[in-house]
Amino acid sequence: MFHDRARIHVQAGRGGDGGLSFRREKHVPKGGPDGGDGGPGGDVVFVAAPDLRDLSAFRPNQRFKAERGGSGRGALKHGATGEDTELRVPVGTQVLDDSGQLLADLAHPGARVVVARGGAPGRGNKRFATPTRQAPRFAETGLPGEELSLDLRLKLLADAALVGFPNAGKSSLLRRISNAKPKVADYPFTTIAPVLGTVDSPEGRQLTVADVPGLIEGASEGVGLGHEFLAHLERARLLLHVVDVSEDVPQRFAAINRELEQYGAHLDELPQIVVLNKADLVPEQPVFDVDDDRVLRVYAVSCATGAGIDELKRGLFDLCPAAPPPVAEDGALVDFLVYRPRPRRERSYRIFRTDRGFRVEGTPPDEAELEAALRAAGARTGSEVEVGEETFELA
């Protein structure tokens, strides 16, 4: 199976709590505060890995957590930084939040994006010492890390993609022109998952070509297999439209184009090279006089004998539009095409650990959220909590 979708849950690490400690030395009965700061929580990061083919490494609704930051301790020891959790995804993976908003598009090998930021650490009690408060008996707690549900969608990145009816000879063509060895057989839907191949030119240039399952009439509405994979054509810059010349070529050519148009996403605007395949099956050299602006050139080939294949390969290198540069105008490497950082959560309130329990400062949220935040900060049933002038016990 080829998995081009996954839904997962990610949670960044909680920030470490600030230390609540006083210096203890021989002959120093009352040392000053020496609680160090907590460490920041780890982030959850996606990395585009060129060796991955699909998203099958993810189980449905799998949860991923990054490490929490270490707590600050006495002698001004700061807590350790929580380790990031790196999730490897295939190149071409798009990350969407649960409202369908595109957060990141990992369109280049090695692209990295932080999808959930670790929580800020709390400050140790040393930081709260002032001339009038020389022995602060409290320290700040760390903040929770960001947590979100994500939809991952793989949209293959290939320079060109093969389209055509089942059995037209798409996989045979990919075997002829590239290093890929997709299965070929004389029944429809032999190819059930996309395959990428690399085509080398004699000058040392390379192009990637995607072979996707064949399309039939109604594919864009879900007939056959093809519709599931049409998304993998979206990022191609050229289509290799393969037609079996022993069939009714104009009719078949038009039927595929109708499916591309009905699918949308501008697939019907992509330039095409028409490949009249199985030329060995007809007595005359096949021709197709087509009046269509998208068609850059028509080649007659035989994947069985190899006739016309070299010419087609040359045409592919000549006609495939150049890839957009991976570097933006300002010189920055474009790791992802779209990324809308979510605003950093403002702290409307802070929680401090005191030597008696916990203290809340600022504008606390509703009771349920405050309780959850207190428990996350280490409060338990019976813990003493000060909010403003009031002190209560956590129920």
Contacts to ligand GTP by CB under 6 A: 164, 166-172, 184-186, 188-191, 213-214, 277-278, 280-281, 302-304
CB of 176 to ligand GTP, least distance (A): 9
In the bound state with ligand GTP, the residue whose beta carbon lies nearer, of 282 and 323, is: 282
CB of 196 to ligand GTP, least distance (A): 14
In the bound state with Mg ion, the residue whose beta carbon lies nearer, of 180 and 319, is: 180
For residues 77 and 336, give the distance between their C-alpha atoms in angstroms, rounded to a whole number: 38
- 190 scored as a contact of Mg ion (CB under 5 A): yes
CB of 210 to ligand GTP, least distance (A): 12
- 167 scored as a contact of Mg ion (CB under 5 A): no
Binding positions for Mg ion, 142-161, rule CB under 5 A: none
CB of 171 to Mg ion, least distance (A): 3
- When computed from its CA atoms, the radius of gyration of the chain, rounded to whole angstroms, is 30
Side-chain-facing half-sphere of 267: CA atoms under 13 Å:
23
What 3 state SS string does 346-362 have? CCCEEEEEECCEEEEEE
In the bound state with Mg ion, the residue whose beta carbon lies nearer, of 148 and 184, is: 184
CB of 277 to ligand GTP, least distance (A): 5
Nearest to 114 by CA among 91, 95, 98: 95
In the bound state with Mg ion, the residue whose beta carbon lies nearer, of 172 and 220, is: 172
Contact partner, 122, from ligand GTP, Mg ion, none, Cβ < 5-8 Å per class: none
Please name the helix (run of DSSP H) or strand (run of DSSP E) that holds residue 28, with its range, or none.
none
Q: Looking at 191, 220, 257, 277, which residue binds Mg ion (CB under 5 A)?
A: 191
In the bound state with Mg ion, the residue whose beta carbon lies nearer, of 44 and 161, is: 161
In the bound state with ligand GTP, the residue whose beta carbon lies nearer, of 78 and 252, is: 252
Q: Which positions ≥6 away from 284 have C-beta within 8 Å? A: none
- Which range of residues in 118-126, 129-137, 163-171, 385-393 is near Mg ion by CB under 5 A? 163-171
In the bound state with ligand GTP, the residue whose beta carbon lies nearer, of 48 and 212, is: 212
In degrees rounded to 5, what are phi and psi of residue 34? -140, 30
Q: Looking at 81, 171, 257, 272, which residue binds Mg ion (CB under 5 A)?
A: 171
Q: Can you tell me whether residue 320 is helix, strand or coil?
A: coil
CA 186 to chain CA centroid, Å, is 36
For residues 302 and 109, give the distance between their C-alpha atoms in angstroms, rounded to a whole number: 35
For residues 69 and 41, give the distance between their C-alpha atoms in angstroms, rounded to a whole number: 4
CB of 214 to ligand GTP, least distance (A): 3
Give how many residues touch Mg ion by CB under 5 A. 3
For residues 355 and 196, give the distance between their C-alpha atoms in angstroms, rounded to a whole number: 62
Contact partner, 277, from ligand GTP, Mg ion, none, Cβ < 5-8 Å per class: ligand GTP
- The vertex-394 CA angle with 389 and 395, nearest 5°, equals 130
- The vertex-312 CA angle with 307 and 316, nearest 5°, equals 165
Alpha-helix runs per DSSP H in the chain: 170-177, 226-229, 249-263, 309-319, 367-376
Which residues form the interface with Mg ion (CB under 5 A)? 171, 190-191
